[in-house]
Structure 1
Amino acid sequence: MSDSISLRRRAASALLWSSIQSWGGRVVSLLVFVLLARLLNPADFGLASSAFLIMTLLNLVAEFGCSDAIVQRRDLRPADVNLPFYVAMTISTTLATSMVIFAPQIASLMEVPGLTPYLRGAAMITPFMTFTSFQEFMYRRALMFRQLAVRTILGTIVGGIVGVGMAFAGFGTWSLICQFAAQTIVGAIWVWHAPVWKPSLELHPKSAMEIGAFGSRVVTKFVVDFATGKSVDFIILVVYGAAALGLFTVASRLYLLLLQLLSTSISSVVLSMLAKISDDLERVRRLYIRSTSICTSFGTPVFVGLAAIAPEVNHLMFGEKWAGADRVMIPLLLIGGIHCTQSINGAYLTAVGRPQTLLNVTIVKALVVLPPLYFIRFDSVAATADFYALCLLAITPIDFFVTLRGLKLDWKAVVRPLGIPFLACIAGFALSLAVRNEVSSLPDNTILRAIIMGSSFVLGYVLTYAIVGWNLAKDNLLFAQSLVKKDR
């Protein structure tokens, strides 16, 4: 069996289990989130989201970009991971301790009354996240996505039971903090009870420096990306308060969930595959064209279709308590349709040895997004979300231009694979808007309206795709079917 066929079969299996990990865990997570949204109020979500913002930043700094460096390093020895692991755990523990000590000052800076205990609770989770992540890196490197899928689903179920139970008991914000804590601890126990890698006292400073040098560029990119992506959260928190942040958190949940579902399952596998073929630029190019076309054909319409029925989705999922969240959902879901494809560009730039280029793009993104958000204020959360989506859209051409240049790929090679699905999505969305205006006089039946709007989008998308890009649709479907058959 050739290396190419073997890699394809392993990739198919990894893609299947990576998808199960993402879809299974995220679907359960969404069900839990919906239950919690119906049990808790916007202020509860706002306080928890404020604490999680700081916790996520601490974990990004502690991991120091080691995930990509470890997964993609071609000649990695088990002992090479020891020193980065010990350093990361030391940093994570130190940062968590500092957050516990200085929680009152942080809460005061964020101008959120009552945040201090939740900051301390979230800080205590951070070392467990770092402890788990290194073992997860090694699982991913070995393409052991089945074990990670089981871990994710089990942790989500246990965390959900804890969170919903505490919400019923009236614990408010602590329900969300403890839900995440339980999920993280279960995940740590699962990956460490059958470790792919075990830390030892054998240290390799030279390889650790190489991993650290690579990781420093990656972590800088992550931190800048975090600042760019989460800046809107901070602005909403400061300008409108914790309850408004809670509204934005619930409204953006579907966007973030879908982005993780549809892009992470593919990008995780792509990253692992690229480690095997990164020295063959032609294969990397072919993989890029195919993977971006798959994302745009199957992922983008999910985002855009849900944007078309956002009012109905919001009412059915979260209820009257969260009225108005649909106005925030729409721009986020629409930009998510582009990010679904755009999100895997970074993996390819990293694979061809261009992490500095990736960092430069991220810095440009921050320069385009952050100043307008901080200096231009609006009178509502929805208007802020609209402007945020427009700022992100402005970065898209730059991101694709730099990626194509890094791959030495002519832009004409991706016009058809990406342009046809995008055109079909626009047609479907336009048709659903036209139908919405026509059925405005129908009885106020949310489910019926969702079915009509959703069917209109699907009809417009499928017809346009079939008329304009029938051969492309067949190629993508045949490719997906071949992966499944090869895996069997």
Structure 2
Amino acid sequence: MPEQSLKEKTAKGLLWGAINNGVQQILVLAFGIILGRLLSPSEYGMVGMLTIFTLIGNSLQESGFRAALVNLKEIRHEDYNAVFWCSTFIGIAAYLILFFCAPLIARFYGEPELLPLSRYCFLAIPIASLGTVQGAYLFRNLKVRQQAISGILAHIISGCLGVTLAFYGFSYWGIATQSLTYLIVVTLCSWHFSSWRPTLHIDFSPLKPFFSFSSKILITNIANQINNNILSVVLGKFFTSQSVGNYNQANKWNATGHQFITGMLNSVAQPILVKVRDDQERELRVFRKILRFVAFIAFPAMFGLSTVTRELILITVGEKWTSSISLMQLLCIGGAFIPISTLFSNLIISQGKSNIYMWNIISQVVLQLITVLCIIMMKGSIQTMVIVYVCINIIWLFVWRTYAHRFIGLKFRMLMSDLLPFMLPAIIACCIGGIAASLIGGHIIVTFIIKILVAAICYMGIMKLSNAEIMHECINYLLKKKVS
């Protein structure tokens, strides 16, 4: 593929990814604000306790097949068909297992209400399994616009339904129904936009060539879900459902920020890196350009979100969520580095090195588990857990860098030269915004607006003075000018 064609595909993919994730995150925020005012932290916590089980079940049914299908240079109907039926059967089996394990889950948390709620929430697993192959088809063929339409439509329908149920007193059942409805709509849309259809000729033999790769992705995805949700489980077991609710509220805002960037990135990174992996020099050049773009967006967005956390929580969901403010500030700082780690993981997967990806994530999860258990034994606070959790995730970025150096020659100085020109200005801009707001004072909404405006102006001003190439390329593309 010609360089210009690849650049154009990447730019279009990132643009549609930005539109998709931007609109989706706005919808998530809008419906989340309404639900946050209608429901209590304890009600949020009930569904939060079950999240890890649903995510692990979805990882099982997906089984790493999505990444495996994308990595195939030549793909056949038989490959898609084998994955479809395997994913469907695993999804049904996973639901049945969790259905009968529901009493144990309710007993583990000491919440009898979790028994019927868990069996309802776990329906997400077989529903999601029906869209795994169609989603992989759209992803492999860079159908980002179609994925955007599916996600946006799903958020609108599910959000309206969830808010309606919460308004009429259905409590946490509204959140559970919202999640299920989202998956149903996304699955239906994926079928609509995908031209591939399964056949009744069931043959699992095509799975054998990439089972070694996909099985490692599966184990890694499960480890990732444990790592991302370990604090919800610990808080639900050793603290209260209210603590889980406060943490989940904080993490929801954090996730809304970094998922906008990671979702945009995931829409193009792996397919693009797969296309250039036979040319190491070109792959390094492509990787570093994407890395600079991610840093340009992630640092000001997430550091800025951390800066306005207090105002944002009080304005949107109210004082009953005050306990989540300090947690959200910490999580947002760590959230700035999540898209960068995601890019590194996409690089490892694009190289076909699922074993390295797997052991790297497992090592990180083991370290997280050990530290969390030590903090519990020492009767540490929730804030201490979050601080350590964030620090480990940031430090692990340099572990990813060592593998990037092995595969594409990314040196430490290259990483720093790609990150620091955006990280330091973002910190400076947010500090100036905070100082300006404190000097001017006024109503909380005024403070919120001043922080955002001053920080944004300072950051873009620094980018202009430093003549940041990535900023000019983004502006030129959006203005339909030719990027040199």
Alignment TM-score > 0.5, same fold: yes
Cα shift readout 1:214-246 (whole Å, capped 9, x = no counterpart): 111111111112112211111111121111111
CA deviations 1:263-289 (Å, max 9, x no partner) are 221232111212322222222111111
Deviations 1:62-89 (A, max 9, x none): 1111111112211111211212221121
Specify whether residues 476 and 203 from structure 1 end up closer, same or farther in structure 2 by C-alpha distance, changes over 3 A only: farther
For the residue of structure 2 that corresponds to 1:282, the secondary structure is: helix
Q: CA deviation at 1:417?
A: 2.0
Give how far 1:342 is off: 2.1
Alignment of 1:295-374 (within 5 A): 295-374=294-373
Judged with a 3 Å threshold, the aligned counterparts in structure 2 of structure 1 residues 74 and 480 are, in CA distance, closer, same or farther, namely: farther
Aligned residues: 481
1:242-264 CA-partner distances (Å, limit 9, x unpaired): 11111111111111111111122
- 2:45, 2:243 within 8 Å by CA — same for their partners in 1? yes
Q: Are 2:65 and 2:214, in contact at CA under 8 Å, matched by a contact in 1?
A: yes
Q: Which residue of 2 aligns with 1:134?
A: 133
Task: Report the more deviating stretch, 2-11 or 339-348.
Answer: 2-11
Report the alpha carbon displacement of residue 204 of structure 1 after superposing the two structures with TM. 5.8
Contact 1:300 1:341 in 2 (8 A): no
| Matched-pair contact (CA < 8 Å) for 2:300–2:427 | no
Structure 1 residues 153 and 370: alpha-carbon distance in aligned structure 2, compared to 1, 3 A threshold: same
Alignment of 1:207-356 (within 5 A): 207-356=206-355
Partner SS, residue 409 of structure 1: coil
Residue in 2 that maps onto 1:447: 445
Question: Contact 1:18 / 1:145 at 8 angstroms: preserved in 2?
Answer: yes
In structure 2, list runs of 5 or more residues that go unmatched: none
Please tell me whether the aligned partners of residues 60 and 94 of structure 2 are also in contact (alpha carbons under 8 angstroms): no
Please, which moves more after superposition, 355-364 or 27-36?
355-364
Q: 1:96 to 1:308 in 2, by over 3 A?
A: same
Q: Equivalent residues in 2 for 1:153-232 (5 A)? A: 153-202=152-201, 205-232=204-231
Give distance in 2, aligned partners of 1:405 and 1:116: 48
Distance (whole Å) between structure 1 residues aligned to residue 82 and residue 109 of structure 2: 35
Q: Which range moves more in the overlay, 369-378 or 398-407?
A: 398-407
- Residue 45 (structure 1) aligns with: 44
Change (3 A) 1:97 1:480: farther
Cα distance in 1 for residues equivalent to 2:481 and 2:148:
20
Cα drift, residue 54 of structure 1? 1.0
User: Structure 1 residues 214 and 77 mapped into 2: Cα distance closer, same or farther (>3 Å)?
Assistant: same
**Secondary structure at 1:43 match in 2:** helix
- Find the residue that maps to 1:353 and give its secondary structure: coil
Q: Are the counterparts in 1 of residues 429 and 455 from structure 2 also a CA contact under 8 Å?
A: yes
The whole-number CA distance in structure 2 between the counterparts of 1:79 and 1:270 is: 26
Aligned equivalent of 1:7? 6
Residues 25-67 of structure 1 show CA distances to partners (whole Å, capped at 9, x for unaligned) of 2211221111111101111111111222211111111111111
Check 1:433–1:7 CA distance in 2 against 1; reply closer, same or farther (3 A cut).
closer
| SS of equivalent to 1:344 | helix
Task: Report the CA distance shift for 1:484/1:134 in structure 2 as closer, same or farther (over 3 A).
Answer: farther
Supply the distance in 2 between the matched residues of 1:475 and 1:117 (Cα, whole angstroms).
Answer: 51
Q: Take 1:182 and 1:293, find their aligned partners in 2: how far apart are those partners?
A: 36
Kindly provide the amino acid, as one letter, of the partner of residue 286 in structure 2. L
Report the CA distance between 1:434 and its aligned residue.
4.4
Partners of 1:207 and 1:8 lie apart in 2 by 33
Match of 1:397 in 2: 398
Rounded to whole Å, the distance in 2 between the matches of 1:486 and 1:353 is 36
Q: Shift in Å at residue 17 of structure 1?
A: 2.1
The question of whether the paired residues in 1 share the 8 Å contact of 2:52 and 2:225 is answered with no
Q: 2:480 aligns with which of 455, 473, 485?
A: 485
Q: Deviations over 1:174-212 (max 9, x none)?
A: 000111111111222222234321112456645311232
Written as runs of structure 1 = structure 2, the 5 A alignment for 1:419-434 is 419-434=420-435
TM-score (norm 2): 0.93
1:418 paired with 2:415, answer no
Kept in 1, the 8 Å contact 2:82–2:205? The answer is: no
Q: 1:391 to 1:58 in 2, by over 3 A?
A: same
Unpaired segments of 5 or more residues in structure 1?
none
Q: Which amino acid aligns with 2:165?
A: M
Question: How much has 1:333 moved relative to structure 2?
Answer: 0.4
The CA distance in 2 between the partners of 1:390 and 1:91, in whole Å, is: 36
Alpha-carbon spacing, 1:128–1:266, altered in 2? closer, same or farther (3 Å): same
1:112, 1:242 within 8 Å by CA — same for their partners in 2? Answer: no
What is the DSSP-based 3-state SS (H/G/I as helix, E as strand, rest coil) of the residue aligned with 1:279? coil
The answer to whether the aligner puts 1:381 opposite 2:382 as a matched pair is yes
Q: Cα 1:82–1:484, aligned 2, differ >3 Å: closer, same or farther?
A: farther
Q: What corresponds to 2:33 in structure 1?
A: 34
Q: Is the 8 A contact 1:303 1:337 kept in 2?
A: yes
Provide the secondary structure at the position in 1 that maps to 2:278. Answer: coil
Map Cα deviations across residues 157-178 of structure 1 (whole Å, 9 max, x no partner): 1101110110111000100011
Superposition RMSD in Å:
2.2
Q: Secondary structure at the match of 1:346?
A: helix
Deviating more after overlay: 401-410 vs 340-349: 401-410
Match of 1:474 in 2: 469
Q: Secondary structure at the match of 1:75?
A: coil
Measure, in 2, the Cα distance between the counterparts of 1:278 and 1:110: 47
The change in CA–CA distance for 1:150 and 1:458 in structure 2 (over 3 A counts) is closer
**Per-residue deviation, 1:428:** 2.4
* Contact 2:476 2:482 survives alignment (8 Å): no
Confirm or deny: 8 A CA contact 2:213 2:352 kept in the other structure. Answer: no
Cα deviation for residue 465 of structure 1 reads: 4.1
What code does the residue aligned with 1:394 have? Answer: I
Measured in 2, the distance between the counterparts of 1:455 and 1:303 equals 15
Secondary structure of the corresponding residue to residue 198 of structure 1: coil
